[in-house]
Structure 1
Amino acid sequence: MAIHKRAGKPAQQSDLTNIPKLISHYFRLVPDMTQAAQRVSFGTSGHRGCAFDASFNESHIIAITQAVVDFRRQQGINGPLLLGMDTHALSQAAYITAMEVLVANQIKVIAQLDDAFVPTPVVSQYLVAANRGKVQDDPSRIDGLIITPSHNPPKDGGIKYNPPHGGPAEGEITAWIEQRANDYLSAQLEGVKRVNIAVALTTGLIEHRELYQPYIESLAQVIDMQAIADANIRIGVDPLGGSGIYYWDKIAAHYGLNITVVNDRVDPAFGFMPLDKDGKIRMDCSSPYAMAGLLEHQQQFDLCLGNDPDFDRHGIVCPTTDEVAGGLMNPNHFLAVAIDYLITHRPQWSSDLAIGKTLVSSAMIDRICAFHQRTLMEVPVGFKWFVDGLANQSIAFGGEESAGAAFLQRDGQTWCTDKDGFILCLLAAEILAVTGKSPAWHYQRLTAQFGNAFYARIDSPISAAKKARFSKLTAESLQAELLAGDPVTAKLTHAPGNGAAIGGIKVTTENGWFAARPSGTEPLFKLYAESFVGETHLKQLLADARVMIDEALKA
C-alpha cells in the first residue's frame, strides 16, 4: 500500500466525520437483512460497523444486547453486568441503548460514576477480581459488555462481550450471540425488551461505582510501581483521546510517578489526530503516522507511551541516544523485550509456565523462549486463544503482533484475561527503571544475541471465491518445497500451540516464514512474512509466498 501524501500530518476539516449526521444515522437507519454487510457479524473483537453504512445502528445494539441477555440466562449468569465504553461518538449512543435493554430485562448494570469512559482492561480486571474463586455454575458471576471499535476510525462503532472469565468471548459464544441477534433483526426486533433511559435510571438497577481506584490500586500486584517511582523516570503520555485518559494522572498521583499527559483532548471526531498511512484518522498506537504527535516529544522524556481508544493496545516510544536509535518501537520488538525481561524478573513465576504468541508474531520470541528453556504456545490470530491459559495460570504471557498483550501478576496469579495497554506501557517504564536501559536498547541487545528480524505485513484484494478457498487449504495445497531458497520445514494449517485451525496457512524455514489468512471483515487477504537474513531475503519470501498462494487458490 502506498503511503498517503499527508500521512503523519494534522487532520484538516475535510478529514473529520460529521458527528451530528453520524448520530442521526445511528438512530434512523435500519439494517437490511438481505445485505450481508448489514447483518451482525462477530470477528475476533466483537461486532464492528458504521452507522452511515447501516452496519452499526440502534437496531444492531438492541438485538446484540438482548442476545447477550439470553445467553447469560441460558448459562445461569445472574450477577450484575459491567458496562464499559470508549470515546468514539457511536459508543456514547450505543451505551445508552444497551443500558435500556439490560434494565428492561432486569439485569443489574454496573457503570462508572457520571457514565464516564471505562477501558477494556479495567473491565477485564474487574471481572477477574470479582469472580475469583467462584465455580463455573455460580449464579452470582458477573460479566461485561464493552462498547468500542478499538483503534478504528471515528465513524465506526463496536461492541464486544466478555463472559465471567473476563476475556473476549470464545468463538462458539460469539457465533451463538451473532445468530440470535440476527434472528431478532430478521423479526423486526420482536421479542426484545427495552425501556426508555429516563425510566431505566429510576429502577435502581443501574449502580454507578468508582472504578478508577480498584484498578489503579491493584497495579502494584502486576508492575513494580515502586521501582518506577524511585527511578523518577520522566514519562510522556498521549492517550490519543481514548477511554483511559483520566487514569494516567490518577496513576501518577497514587504512586508518585513523574508522568506528563502531553495531549488531554477528548473529541469524538478525533480532530487532533495526525492521519494514518492511508490518509484516514485512525487511533492506532502501533503506527508511527498516527503517533506522530507523541513522537514530537520523544527527546523531552525518558519514555513516551500511547494507547488506542479502549486501551487494550500499547505504543512505546524511546528517545534517541548515543547507544540506540529511538522512535516508536515495532510491536513485535517490544513483545520480545517484554517476554525476555519478565522471564528473568518474575522469580515467583513457575518455570513451567508457557509463553503465548499468535502465529504471525515474530519468531524472535521463539528464539528467546528456546534460550530460556520456556514452552512456547503458538495460537491463531485473536487474543481469545490466551484466555484460558491466563485464567488458569498455565501461561505467563499472551501477546499478539498488533500491540496487544497481557501477563500474570508478580505472584503468578491472574491479573486480567484481555489485552491491557496500561500494564504493557508501565512494564516499559519498569524495564527502564530496573535495568537503566530503554526497551529499544534491550531489543538491540536481543538482535545481537539472536539475529536481526525483518518483518512485513501486506494486505491485498481477493475475490470472494478465492477467500472461501482459504479455509480449505491443506499442507498438500502448497507444492513447493523451497521458500526463498531454503528448504521448507513446516506447512501449518493448524496452530501448533493448541491445534486450532488458523483459517489460512503458515510456511516456515530455518531462516524465515510467511503466513496468509483472509480478513474476517473485508475482501482482503493478509500476508505476513519474516526473515532473519535481510531485506532482500524478506522480499523474496513475500514474492515466493504470493506464487504459492496463487497456485493453491486456483479453481
Structure 2
Amino acid sequence: MDGITFGTGGWRAAGDEFTDERVRAVGQAVATYLRETGTETGGTVAVGYDARATSEDAAESLADVLSGNGFDVLLTDRDRPTPVLAYAVADRGLDGGLMVTASHNPPEYNGVKFVPSDANSAMPAVTEAIEARLEPPRSLPAADHGTIERFDPIPAHADHSMALVADYLDVDLSGMTVVYDAIHGSGRGVTDALLEDAGATVIRRRCERDPTFGGQAPEPGPETLAGLPEAVADHDADLGIANDGDADRISICTPDRGVLNGHLLFAGVFDALLEDAGARGPAVRTVSTTFLIDRIAEAYEVPVHEVPVGFKWVADGMAAHDGLFGGEESGGYTIRGHIGTKDGVLLALLAAAAAAAEPFDDRIDRLFETHGRIYADKRSVACDEAAKPRLVEALEADVPDRIAGEPVAETVTVDGFKFLLDDGSWVLLRPSGTEPKIRVYAETTDPDRLEPLLEAGSDLVAARLGGADGD
C-alpha cells in the first residue's frame, strides 16, 4: 500500500500515483472500517465523483469493492459536487460516502475523500483508522454482494438549500442577474440551476465539462477568474459567482471590487445574517481569517470562536458552539442547520440572497466605514516536509519581539504562530498540511503595511530555518 497517505479528509495523488490498485485498496479500507466500527451486515454507502478524466472509472471501482464487501452502493448519475454527495449521506441515513475528487488541485491530480455518516468533515482519528486498514480488496461470495444503483442527489439538496436559506433571508432573486462560472467543474447544472429556481437570471460561463478545467487548477481565485469581472460588467450583472472543481468552495465577484477575497465574503454574509434576518449565534472562523468578523460580532454582541485551519475544525467548532456561520478565508463556509461540510452550492444561494438584500459593494463600504478597512493577503514559502518541525521548534525557542518594526503584543498558537502586533495588525506562520510549504498570512488596516508584513513573515521563516537571529 505504498504511496497512499491520507491528509485532509482522504487521499490525494498526482498522475501515475493515482492507480486503480490503490483506489481499490482505499475502498477496501473504508469497507473494513465501516464493518468494524458500526455496520455488521448490509448497509449502504454513497459514491460520487468530480469532472476529472479518471474520476468516473475510479468511482466505479470503489462501488465494485464496496458491493463485494456486502454494501449496497448508491453511485451518482454523473459527476456531482462533493457537498451534494455529503448531504445525501446525512439525508438518507447512510453508513458513509466516498467522493472521488482532488477539489481545487490541478487536473493531473485526483483523490478519494471519505464522508462519515453524519456528513461532517472526517476528523484525523477517522482518516488515520482508515489508513491503518489499507489492504488489497477482498470479496464475499457472490450471493452476499450488495447492489449498485445510480442515483441523482441533486433534488434533495436543492430543496434543503432553498428551505434553509429562506429561514434566514428572502430567496426571491427575481430581478437579479448573476454570472455563474463553473470553471468546467461539477457545479455546472447544479449551482446555476439553484440560482435560477430562486428567480435569478443566470448567465453561464465555462459550464461545459472539461476534465482539464481549461488547462488550469479549478481554484476560484483572481487569476483563474480573470474574465469574470468583465463578464459581470458586460451583462450589467449584480453579482458573479464561481465554484471550484467539486463546488465545495465559492468566490464571488462584485461590480466595483471584482473578485472578492474570502475574508470579505465571510464578513458580508455574516453581517447579512445578523442584520437582515435577526439571527443570532457565534461565528466560527479559522485562525487565518480576518478580525473584521470579530468587530461585526462585537457590534451584535455575539461571540467568535477561532479554530485551526482546515474545515474539519470549522465543523467541529460549529457543532461545539452552535455556530451561526462558519468558514475560512480560502472560500469554504457552512451555516447553522446544514451539514458540517463546506458547501459552495448552498453558499451561492445564500450569498445571492445577501446581495439581494443589500449589494455587496454597499455592504462592504458600510462595514469598512463602521469597523475600519482591512487589507489581507497570503503567500507561500517552499519548505521540505522534514524541515517543518525544525521551523516550529525554532519559533518556540525564539519568539520574535518585533515584526516589520512593530512590537509583538501576543503570540497565538492555535495553529502555527500568529503574532498580534501593537498596531492591530497580525502575521501568521503555519506549515501547510497538504504541500511542502509554509503559509504566511497577514492583515492590517494600512495598505502600505501589507507587503512589508508579508515580507517580514517570509524573512522570519527563512531566518529560523537557516538558524539566523533576525526578526
Residue in 1 that maps onto 2:100: 147
Which of 21, 32, 45 is the matching residue for 1:70? 32
Residue in 2 that maps onto 1:233: 176
Asked if the contact 1:117/1:244 (under 8 Å) is kept, the reply is no
Cα deviation, residue 251, structure 1: 2.5
Q: Deviations over 1:398-449 (max 9, x none)?
A: 11111111112xxxxx2121011012221221122223xx213211221222
> What aligned pairs does 1:29-40 form with structure 2 within 5 A after superposition?
33=2, 39-40=3-4
The separation in 2 between residues aligned to 1:375 and 1:79, in whole angstroms, is 40
User: Aligned-residue CA RMSD in angstroms?
Assistant: 2.6
The separation in 2 between residues aligned to 1:318 and 1:522, in whole angstroms, is 31
The separation in 2 between residues aligned to 1:553 and 1:45, in whole angstroms, is 29
- Cα pair distance change 1:519/1:93, threshold 3 Å: same
1:423 is aligned to 2:346: yes
1:307 is aligned to 2:243: yes
The separation in 2 between residues aligned to 1:473 and 1:145, in whole angstroms, is 39
The separation in 2 between residues aligned to 1:74 and 1:473, in whole angstroms, is 42
1:220 is aligned to 2:162: yes
Residue in 2 that maps onto 1:519: 432
Cα deviation, residue 554, structure 1: 5.2
Cα deviation, residue 241, structure 1: 1.3
The alignment partner of 1:341 has SS state of helix
The alignment partner of 1:43 has SS state of coil
The alignment partner of 2:265 has SS state of helix
Which of 196, 208, 227 is the matching residue for 1:293? 227
- Cα pair distance change 1:345/1:473, threshold 3 Å: farther
The alignment partner of 2:27 has SS state of helix
Asked if the contact 2:173/2:198 (under 8 Å) is kept, the reply is no
Cα deviation, residue 486, structure 1: 3.2
Residue in 1 that maps onto 2:205: 262
- Cα pair distance change 1:446/1:42, threshold 3 Å: same
Residue in 1 that maps onto 2:219: 284
The alignment partner of 2:285 has SS state of strand
Q: Residue type matched to 1:488 in 2?
A: V
- Cα pair distance change 1:465/1:51, threshold 3 Å: closer
> What aligned pairs does 1:382-401 form with structure 2 within 5 A after superposition?
382-391=310-319, 394-401=322-329
The separation in 1 between residues aligned to 2:72 and 2:392, in whole angstroms, is 41
Q: Deviations over 1:21-61 (max 9, x none)?
A: xxxxxxxxxx7x3xxxxx21222242111133x2x211221
- Cα pair distance change 1:471/1:544, threshold 3 Å: closer
> What aligned pairs does 1:33-432 form with structure 2 within 5 A after superposition?
33=2, 39-52=3-16, 54=17, 56-77=18-39, 79-112=43-76, 115-131=77-93, 141-181=94-134, 184=135, 189=136, 192-193=137-138, 205-224=147-166, 227-229=170-172, 231-248=174-191, 250-252=193-195, 254-271=197-214, 281-285=216-220, 287-299=221-233, 300=235, 301-319=237-255, 325-347=256-278, 349=279, 351=280, 353-391=281-319, 394-408=322-336, 414-432=337-355
The separation in 2 between residues aligned to 1:526 and 1:237, in whole angstroms, is 30
The alignment partner of 1:527 has SS state of strand
Cα deviation, residue 249, structure 1: 5.2
Residue in 2 that maps onto 1:18: none
Q: Deviations over 1:178-228 (max 9, x none)?
A: 2322xx2xxxx2xx2259xxx99x966113233221111222222239944
Asked if the contact 1:125/1:417 (under 8 Å) is kept, the reply is no
The separation in 2 between residues aligned to 1:382 and 1:248, in whole angstroms, is 24
Cα deviation, residue 370, structure 1: 2.1
Which of 410, 428, 434 is the matching residue for 1:490? 410
- Cα pair distance change 1:166/1:391, threshold 3 Å: farther
- Cα pair distance change 1:230/1:491, threshold 3 Å: closer
Cα deviation, residue 108, structure 1: 1.0
- Cα pair distance change 1:57/1:298, threshold 3 Å: same
Q: Residue type matched to 1:425 in 2?
A: A
Asked if the contact 1:397/1:407 (under 8 Å) is kept, the reply is yes
Cα deviation, residue 461, structure 1: 1.6
- Cα pair distance change 1:458/1:264, threshold 3 Å: closer
1:528 is aligned to 2:451: no
The separation in 2 between residues aligned to 1:529 and 1:484, in whole angstroms, is 11
The separation in 2 between residues aligned to 1:208 and 1:242, in whole angstroms, is 20
Residue in 2 that maps onto 1:277: none
The separation in 1 between residues aligned to 2:188 and 2:139, in whole angstroms, is 31
The alignment of Structure 1 onto Structure 2 pairs a total of residues equal to: 461
Cα deviation, residue 471, structure 1: 4.5
Q: Deviations over 1:86-106 (max 9, x none)?
A: 101121221111111111111
Cα deviation, residue 476, structure 1: 4.7
Residue in 2 that maps onto 1:458: 379
- Cα pair distance change 1:266/1:230, threshold 3 Å: closer
Q: Deviations over 1:257-305 (max 9, x none)?
A: 322323321121223x6xxxxxxx11111x1221123333111112121
Q: Residue type matched to 2:428 in 1?
A: A
- Cα pair distance change 1:464/1:433, threshold 3 Å: closer
The separation in 1 between residues aligned to 2:161 and 2:386, in whole angstroms, is 48
Q: Residue type matched to 2:100 in 1?
A: I
Asked if the contact 1:470/1:517 (under 8 Å) is kept, the reply is no
The separation in 2 between residues aligned to 1:442 and 1:368, in whole angstroms, is 12
Q: Give 5+ residue unaligned stretches, structure 2.
A: none
1:544 is aligned to 2:465: no
Cα deviation, residue 81, structure 1: 0.9
The separation in 1 between residues aligned to 2:28 and 2:226, in whole angstroms, is 41
Q: Residue type matched to 2:452 in 1?
A: Q
- Cα pair distance change 1:434/1:542, threshold 3 Å: closer
Cα deviation, residue 544, structure 1: 3.3
The separation in 2 between residues aligned to 1:486 and 1:270, in whole angstroms, is 43
The separation in 1 between residues aligned to 2:261 and 2:88, in whole angstroms, is 30
- Cα pair distance change 1:473/1:127, threshold 3 Å: farther
Q: Residue type matched to 1:99 in 2?
A: A
The alignment partner of 1:40 has SS state of coil
Q: Give 5+ residue unaligned stretches, structure 1.
A: 1-30, 34-38, 132-140, 274-280, 320-324, 409-413, 496-501
Asked if the contact 1:90/1:155 (under 8 Å) is kept, the reply is no
Cα deviation, residue 528, structure 1: 1.0
The separation in 2 between residues aligned to 1:164 and 1:178, in whole angstroms, is 18
Residue in 1 that maps onto 2:419: 507
Asked if the contact 1:390/1:416 (under 8 Å) is kept, the reply is no
The alignment partner of 1:72 has SS state of helix
Residue in 2 that maps onto 1:481: 401
The separation in 2 between residues aligned to 1:178 and 1:440, in whole angstroms, is 46
Q: Residue type matched to 1:402 in 2?
A: S
Q: Residue type matched to 1:506 in 2?
A: K
Residue in 2 that maps onto 1:448: 369
Cα deviation, residue 240, structure 1: 1.3
